Amino acid sequence: MNSLQASQQAAPPDSVQHLSFRVRDARYALPIELVREIIEYGQVTTVPMMPSFIHGVINLRGNVVPVLDLAARFGFELTRPGKRTCIVIIELNLDEQQQRIGLVVDAVDAVLDIEQGEVEQAPPFGAGIRTDFIAGMARDDGGFTIIIDVRRVLSLDDIRQLSLAQQAS
């Protein structure tokens, strides 16, 4: 059992565990049930004719995994990999099949137990990213953690591009 699985079992019944991470100076989170693993930023092969927010693809134990730069997707400049830059591998059920996608983040912080009562609706302005990308805002001692809606961040058009990236490599 890996550490993500162990921490999932310890969550209170009225909370949902989220992986928190940083993109630029903001804290974000996504449900841990989507996360398969976190890997060090390594060799990413660029694929021609992809949107700028798609870094390329990686070889993950013999599988081609497209890598998306969350900062660029949110409208910031492309991430320049640093010491703490990671790729969060998520798995989504798309078109009746499991799709693994790598998300480039500046740093991974922690696994958070977020109670439903702590989650507020996204404000219509001021979050720094498109509000349709936000599933909610979790209040904590340090301010807010933005919970992203990965399916909206990856629009259907983006998913088609990611599929093309996998086929091209």
- pLDDT tens-place string over residues 19-28: 999 999 889 9
Length of the chain: 169
- Under 8 Å CB-to-CB from 51, ≥6 apart: which residues? 158, 161
Please tell me which of 33-37, 120-124, 127-131, 163-167 the model is most confident about, judged by mean pLDDT.
33-37
Place of tokens 């990671």: 86
Q: Per mean pLDDT, which range of 1-15, 31-45, 53-67, 96-110 is the poorest?
A: 1-15
Distances (CA, A) of 53 to 46, 63, 67, 146: 11, 21, 9, 20
| Residues in Cβ contact with 85 at an 8 Å cutoff, skipping those fewer than 6 apart | 41, 79, 104, 105, 106, 107
Beta strands across the sheet bearing 35-40: 35-40, 86-94, 97-105, 63-69, 54-60
Residue 161 pLDDT exceeds 70: no
pLDDT for res 2 = 43
8-12: Cβ within 8 A, 24+ apart:
8/32, 8/33, 11/113, 12/113, 12/115
Higher pLDDT pick, 168 / 23 = 23
Whether 5 has a pLDDT exceeding 60, the answer reads no
Confidence of residue 1 (pLDDT cuts 50, 70, 90): very low
Q: Comparing 23-37, 42-56, 113-127, which segment has the lowest mean pLDDT?
A: 113-127
Structure confidence at residue 7 as a pLDDT band (50, 70, 90): very low
- Topology of 17-167 in CATH? OB fold (Dihydrolipoamide Acetyltransferase, E2P) (2.40.50)
More confident residue, 84 or 153: 84
Q: Quick check: 115 and 15 in contact, CB under 8 A?
A: yes
C-alpha 86/C-alpha 28 separation (Å) is 14
